[in-house]
């Protein structure tokens, strides 16, 4: 019995050693700017990373670093992946203005609604039209957030209420839109929003419901203005990107694991996390007793007309770079319509 027990212990120890060795084959550092409890880290990045680890048989370990723990600022994340400072990042494309001009088409006003639908459409769009914008990285997936709205200290019930208001915008296109709507845009990454609202640097912010609880926006401001119909005022675009060298040095069977966890279904995973987060964020604001305004169809149409110039301006800007903006916009809208019907 003693000999058998010792043999069993030996087998278990060898198995544990083997598993530990396999887990140490590859360690990938995943860096992003939100706290770990926010919807994207908890509902998208963690499930994605867990699946990669499982699919690799424990040979890939994904270390997760939230809230810029590895240093730098959110606008530097894409370059951190490109330059190999980290292995994988999740970030906002708009944090590096003008770098992804074709991808910006999904940020045009009143373009998209459901995050899962528009994320599928965005992934398909990039694969067909804009892979050159991601040539410096291994593209895992792109996605969008859900319908964009405005969170403000003072209530916004009509377009005129926005006039002169300092409003945070999360991208170049959104800032152009805010200016055309009469606001004073203030660009900043989302982690800075809570403090900026608290200190009065801004009076309102453009963020989806999804990130409201993580930033405690529902405690800082008490007014939230959305729009009629199935399209939000704006959206932002996001990317999950991997350092090319980190990918290239993987053995073929582990490259297959990364490939199998890239593309359309990964885009949809991140989109669903945004949609789920939107419901939770709205519920938090409702529980706080905040003033939730939904502009009616007539007032929403006024905002659409006021924001229409953004599209013309964007067409001219990208046209100067040799990009056919109207064609890309038509394709984006057709893809959103296609995935809306599935």
Query: What pLDDT, in 10s, does the model give residues 207-217?
Result: 999 999 999 99
Asked whether residue 14 is assigned to any structural domain, the reply reads: no
CA nearest neighbour of 120 among 341, 272, 339, 276: 339
Contact 225, 160 (CB under 8 A): no
Output the pLDDT for position 141.
99
- How many Å apart are CA 46 and CA 240, to the nearest integer? 13
Asked whether residue 297 is assigned to any structural domain, the reply reads: yes
What pLDDT band is residue 342 in, cutting at 50, 70 and 90?
confident
Q: Are residues 307 and 220 in the same domain?
A: yes
- 327 or 18: which leads in pLDDT: 327
Output the pLDDT for position 2.
45
Q: Are residues 137 and 247 in the same domain?
A: yes
Question: Does 23 have pLDDT greater than 50?
Answer: no
Q: Are residues 207 and 296 in the same domain?
A: yes
Output the pLDDT for position 232.
96
Q: Are residues 119 and 46 in the same domain?
A: yes
Edge-to-edge strand list for the sheet holding 204-207: 184-187, 166-169, 204-207, 149-152, 223-226, 291-294
Q: Are residues 54 and 129 in the same domain?
A: yes
- How many Å apart are CA 305 and CA 176, to the nearest integer? 14
Q: Percentage of residues in the chain with pLDDT exceeding 90?
A: 93
Q: Are residues 80 and 185 in the same domain?
A: no
Output the pLDDT for position 1.
43
Q: Which residue has the tokens 């040095």?
A: 249
The number of residues in the chain equals 342
Output the pLDDT for position 283.
98
Q: What is the mean pLDDT of residues 47-51?
A: 98
* pLDDT averaged over every residue in the chain: 94
pLDDT one-digit tens code per residue, 282-330: 999 999 999 999 999 999 999 999 999 999 999 999 999 999 999 999 9
What pLDDT band is residue 60 in, cutting at 50, 70 and 90?
very high
Output the domain CATH number for residue 197. Answer: 3.40.190.170
- How many Å apart are CA 140 and CA 30, to the nearest integer? 12
Q: What is the mean pLDDT of residues 118-136?
A: 98
Q: Considering its fold, how many domains does the chain have in total?
A: 2
Asked whether residue 339 is assigned to any structural domain, the reply reads: no
pTM of the complete model: 0.92
Q: Are residues 190 and 268 in the same domain?
A: no
Question: Does 10 have pLDDT greater than 60?
Answer: no
Q: Are residues 273 and 294 in the same domain?
A: no
Q: Which residue has the tokens 């991208």?
A: 171
The boundaries of the domain holding residue 90 are: 24-146+236-277
């Amino acid at each position: 019995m003693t000999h058998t027990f010792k043999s069993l212990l030996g087998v278990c120890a060898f198995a544990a050693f083997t598993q530990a060795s396999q887990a140490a084959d590859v360690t990938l550092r995943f860096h992003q700017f939100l706290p770990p409890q926010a919807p994207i880290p908890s509902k998208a990045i963690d499930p994605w990373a867990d699946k990669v680890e499982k699919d690799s048989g424990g040979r890939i370990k994904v270390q997760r670093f939230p809230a810029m723990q590895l240093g730098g600022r959110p606008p530097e994340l894409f370059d951190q992946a490109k330059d190999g400072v980290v292995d994988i990042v999740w970030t906002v494309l708009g944090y590096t203005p003008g770098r992804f001009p074709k991808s910006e088409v999904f940020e045009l006003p009143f373009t998209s609604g459901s995050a899962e639908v528009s994320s599928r459409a965005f992934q398909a769009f990039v694969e067909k039209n804009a892979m050159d914008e991601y040539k410096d990285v291994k593209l895992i997936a792109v996605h969008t957030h859900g319908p964009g709205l405005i969170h403000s200290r003072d209530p916004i019930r009509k377009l005129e209420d926005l006039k002169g208001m300092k409003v945070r915008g999360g991208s170049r296109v959104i800032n152009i839109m805010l200016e055309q709507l009469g606001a004073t845009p203030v660009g900043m990454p989302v982690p800075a929003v809570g403090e900026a609202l608290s200190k009065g640097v801004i009076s309102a912010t453009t963020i989806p419901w999804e990130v409201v609880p993580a930033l405690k926006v529902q405690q800082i401001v008490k007014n939230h203005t959305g729009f009629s119909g199935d399209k939000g005022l704006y959206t932002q675009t996001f990317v999950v990107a991997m350092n090319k060298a980190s990918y290239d040095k993987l053995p073929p069977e582990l490259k297959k694991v990364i490939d199998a966890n890239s593309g359309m279904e990964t885009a949809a995973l991140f989109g669903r996390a945004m949609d789920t987060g939107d419901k939770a964020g709205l519920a938090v604001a409702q529980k706080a007793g905040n003033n939730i305004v939904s502009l009616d169809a007539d007032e929403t149409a006024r905002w659409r007309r006021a924001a229409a110039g953004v599209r013309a301006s964007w067409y001219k800007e990208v046209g100067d770079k040799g990009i056919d903006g109207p064609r890309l916009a038509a394709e984006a809208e057709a893809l959103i319509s296609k995935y809306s019907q599935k």
